[in-house]
């Protein structure tokens, strides 16, 4: 089948999907024609393309979308088993890469030269050999944007929990050391009038900034590769500064940058020494942007006030990791996008990426 015809089918399928959503939520049924058309096209195109979904728990909404026009193969192992993925990848035309397994030359070799499209089900693409995909001209999709709100919400939770010592407070109760006869007991950091720094100020950073607007902060400093639009700077009272200025002047720092060779280890001992002793560090991006040993030392020696992190270097974090023994850190197990709605939206965007990729169209969320 020609790419163009396949693309037409996909348009129908996507329309059909939204039509189904609309009728489920009780709206009027106005796209009956497109539904009919897509049903007519299913059989022929199903034979054309095979899609491997590498994780058994990818939400059904995505599988439904894909299976209307492609043959969908779903890996069954949990946790994902690399040999199963490599075995089932043979001969497929697209990969919905549902876990954070490395996607490298081994995978491309296992699949074969007919591979036409790949998508992650994440915003970050640090576990993908992007250069290799570029070399083979295989389009790569990812799923940013739909997770902005959920990740930003968790960032707010970590900021407040770290600044106001929630984890430590809980321990005080558990150990019968609730000593509220002290006036200066369990003092935390104010959010009001704080200068908030963003290391990376893209989609997620700006969604956090939007949430901060109710907290009467003093202003925002940020470092990014490219300055953001002037009207956004105005809206958020944000100023682009060099890294050293960011860490020296910020009361609260959000790490919201992708993991790249440039960002890896940027928050090391040298950086912590330059930060305020009252500073609160929040990491909602990737663990290795922070040198974890240096973070331990900085928190232990009170070089910074506290940290709230959703990501660590080496996930899962072992239960005996020394960070867990510190009172001034709150750690969550990489749950930034973990809500039903967000993960479902991510899966739908991933499926959409695949369908457009197979049709030779630009993906909904291209990663390069
Ligand atoms: C992974 O899958 C392969 C092949 O599908 C199987 O032989 C192997 O036992 C599995 N390994 C684990 C740890 O489940
Ligand atoms: C707000 O913070 C600035 C420093 O960032 C300080 O100079 C100023 O006094 C603070 N204002 C209030 C009302 O606390
Ligand atoms: C921290 O990173 C900076 C920038 O890469 C580097 O110049 C500095 O030497 C590093 N400090 C330590 C203690 O590794």
Question: Looking at residue 20, what is its pLDDT?
Answer: 47
* DSSP for 36-92, written as a single string: HHHHHHHHHHHTT-EEEE--TTS-HHHHHHHHTTSEEEE---SS--HHHHHHHHTT-
Q: Is residue 26 classed exposed, middle or buried when 0-12, 13-18 and 19+ CB atoms within 10 A define those classes?
A: exposed
Closest-CA residue to 354 (of 163, 126, 95, 143): 95
**315 and 235: one domain?**
yes
Residue 96 and residue 163 in one domain: no
Q: Which helix (H) or strand (E) holds 254?
A: strand 252-255
Q: How far apart are CA 257 and CA 284, in angstroms?
A: 9
| Boundaries of domain holding 201 | 147-176+188-331
77 touches ligand 1 (CB under 6 Å): yes
Please tell me the predicted confidence (pLDDT) of residue 132. 98
What's 95's domain CATH number? 3.40.50.720
Residue 232: which residues within 8 A CB-CB, separation 6 or more?
206, 238
CB of 285 closer than 8 Å to CB of 258: yes
Q: What is the pLDDT of residues 150-180, one digit of tens each?
A: 999 999 999 999 999 999 999 999 999 999 8
Same domain, 109 and 171: no
Q: How far is the CA of 266 from the centre of ligand 3 (A)?
A: 7
The mean pLDDT value of the chain amounts to 90
Q: Looking at the structure, do residues 163 and 304 belong to the same domain, yes or no?
A: yes
User: Which of 84, 87, 89 should be mutated for ligand 1, with most atoms under 8 A from CB?
Assistant: 84
Our answer on whether the CB atom of 145 is closer than 6 Å to any ligand 3 atom is no
350 and 244 together in one domain = no
What mean pLDDT do residues 108-120 have?
A: 98
Cβ–ligand 1 distance for 109 under 6 Å, the answer no
Nearest CA to ligand 2 atom 12: 193
* Catalytic (active-site) positions: 334
Compute the distance between CA of residue 271 and CA of residue 265 in angstroms, rounded to an integer: 10
Does residue 98 form part of some domain?
yes
Sequence-ordered list of residues with C-beta below 8 angstroms from that of 135, at least 6 positions apart, any chain: none
Structural domain includes residue 224:
yes
Same domain, 212 and 292: yes
pTM of the predicted structure, to 2 decimals: 0.85
* Radius of gyration of the chain, Cα coordinates, nearest whole angstrom: 23
Arithmetic mean of pLDDT, 301-313: 98
Distance CA 282, CA 308 (A): 5
- Looking at the structure, do residues 200 and 280 belong to the same domain, yes or no? yes
Same domain, 154 and 276: yes
Residue 351 sits in the same domain as residue 282: no
For residue 34, pLDDT beyond 60:
no
Task: Assess whether the C-beta atom of 268 lies below 6 angstroms from ligand 3.
Answer: yes
Evaluate: CB of 219 within 6 angstroms of ligand 2: no
244 and 351 inside one domain? no
User: How many separate domains does the chain show?
Assistant: 2
Q: Which atom, in ligand 3's list, is nearest to the CA of 271?
A: 1
For residues 273 and 320, membership in a common domain is answered with yes
Mean pLDDT of 44-62: 87
CA 233 to CA 201: how far, in whole Å?
A: 10
Q: Report yes or no on 41 lying in a domain.
A: no
Cα atoms in the Cβ-side hemisphere of radius 13 Å centred on 117: 28
Residues 325 and 347 in one domain: no
């Amino acid at each position: 089948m020609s790419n163009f015809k396949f693309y037409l089918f996909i348009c129908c399928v996507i329309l059909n999907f939204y039509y189904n959503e609309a009728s489920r939520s009780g709206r009027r049924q106005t796209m009956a024609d497109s539904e009919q058309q897509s049903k007519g096209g299913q059989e022929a195109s199903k034979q054309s393309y095979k899609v491997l979904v590498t994780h058994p728990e990818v939400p059904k909404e995505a599988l439904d979308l894909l299976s209307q026009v492609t043959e969908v193969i779903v890996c069954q192992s949990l946790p994902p088993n690399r040999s199963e993925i490599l075995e089932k990848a043979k001969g497929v035309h697209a990969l919905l890469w549902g876990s954070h397994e490395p996607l490298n030359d081994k995978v491309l070799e296992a699949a074969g030269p007919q591979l036409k499209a790949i998508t992650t089900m994440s915003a970050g693409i640090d576990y993908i050999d992007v250069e290799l995909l570029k070399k083979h001209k295989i389009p790569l999709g990812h799923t940013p944007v739909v997770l902005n709100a959920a990740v930003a919400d968790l960032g707010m939770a970590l900021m407040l929990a770290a600044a106001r010592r929630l984890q430590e407070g809980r321990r005080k109760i558990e150990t019968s050391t609730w000593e509220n006869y002290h006036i200066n007991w369990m003092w935390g950091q104010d959010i009001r009038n704080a200068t908030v720094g963003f290391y990376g100020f893209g989609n997620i950073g700006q969604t956090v900034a939007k949430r901060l607007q109710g907290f009467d902060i003093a202003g925002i400093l940020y470092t990014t590769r490219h300055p953001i639009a002037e009207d956004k700077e105005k809206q958020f009272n944000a100023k682009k500064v060099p890294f050293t200025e960011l860490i020296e002047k910020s009361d609260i720092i959000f790490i919201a940058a992708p993991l790249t060779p440039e960002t890896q280890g940027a928050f090391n001992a040298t950086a912590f020494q330059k930060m305020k002793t009252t500073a609160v560090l929040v990491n909602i991006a990737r663990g290795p942007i922070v040198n974890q040993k240096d973070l331990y030392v900085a928190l232990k020696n009170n070089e910074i006030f506290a940290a709230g992190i959703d990501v660590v270097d080496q996930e899962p974090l072992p239960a005996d990791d020394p960070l867990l023994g510190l009172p001034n850190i709150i750690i969550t197990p990489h749950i930034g996008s973990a809500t039903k709605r967000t993960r479902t939206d991510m899966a739908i965007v991933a499926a959409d990426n695949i369908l457009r990729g197979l049709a030779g169209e630009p993906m909904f969320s291209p990663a390069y």
